[in-house]
Amino acid sequence: MEWSIQEIARRAGTTSRTLRHYGDLGLLVPSRTGANGYRYYDQAALVRLQRILLLRELGLSLPAIKDVLEGQRDTSAALRAHLRLLEQEQMRIGRQIASVRTTLRRTEEGEELMAEEVFDGFDHTAYEQEVTERWGKEAYERSDRWWRALGEDGRARFRGVHDAIARDYGEARAAGLEAGSDEVQDIARRHCEWLSATVEVTRAYVTGIGEMYVADPRFGRNYDRHGDGTAVFVRDALTVYAQHRLPG
């Protein structure tokens, strides 16, 4: 079964021009081109387009998406990863909706507000629990012990290394470099080496950390200090690096 470019564009809520652009970039090649020049897409192309749209919603640039797709040959595994991210986001938004509804009701009825209800869904300390569940309590406690043992001078040196990495990311983004370029990927390599001082650096860990930089302002402000999009740039760079250089 196959669909024309117009049918796919309509069903996906996009435009034929966008799909042709994806094709020109090598992101979404049509399964065939008819004698009339129209492009047609089969089921495999539909699945690939879904993955592209999901990654776009996560904020990845098109070059970064291309790198990710080339590094993810197992379509089922990739879709499962996307599904987990969407389910986590669904739960977070659900908590926010419930929180706002409670605040609205209490405000309209003149009831006293409860802080834990007002900020439920906005409290990003939930990421600490997520990290513990994903990588284990022992790993979290080990990194905590390591940090405490560094001492004041060691912590200052550790922060200094990170500040240099953050500065180089910002300069690379300002210079218009792509997240997948050799220069930026070398920064990502240094970033992962810095992370490896406290945890075992795997593909899942680095990808998750990159998402946290964008999702949680407390982490993102380490890179995106002026609202210039550097946190997204860092996330894209780490995603590309993780897919091509790190074990799963």
pLDDT at 179: 94
Amino acid in position 243: Q
pLDDT at 112: 60
62-120 per-position pLDDT tens digit: 887 887 777 666 667 666 766 776 676 677 677 667 767 776 776 777 766 554 444 44
Q: How far is CA 229 from the centre of its chain?
A: 13
Amino acid in position 80: R
38-54 per-position pLDDT tens digit: 899 998 898 888 888 87
pLDDT at 99: 67
Give the DSSP letter of residue 4: E
Pair of tokens at residue 43: 């089921």
What's the fold here for domain 124-245?
Answer: Globin-like (1.10.490)
- Top pLDDT among 163 and 119 is at 163
Q: How confident is the model at residue 230 (pLDDT cuts 50, 70, 90)?
A: very high
Pair of tokens at residue 64: 């970064």
124-133 per-position pLDDT tens digit: 334 445 445 5
Decide if domain 2-57 falls under CATH 1.10.1660.10.
yes
- Top pLDDT among 183 and 110 is at 183
Q: How confident is the model at residue 139 (pLDDT cuts 50, 70, 90)?
A: low
Q: Where are the domains of the chain?
A: 2-57, 124-245
Q: How far apart (Å, rounded) are the C-alpha atoms in residues 75 and 29?
A: 16
pLDDT at 123: 41
pLDDT at 118: 43
Nearest to 159 by CA among 171, 150, 172, 149: 150
SS3 102: helix
pLDDT at 119: 45
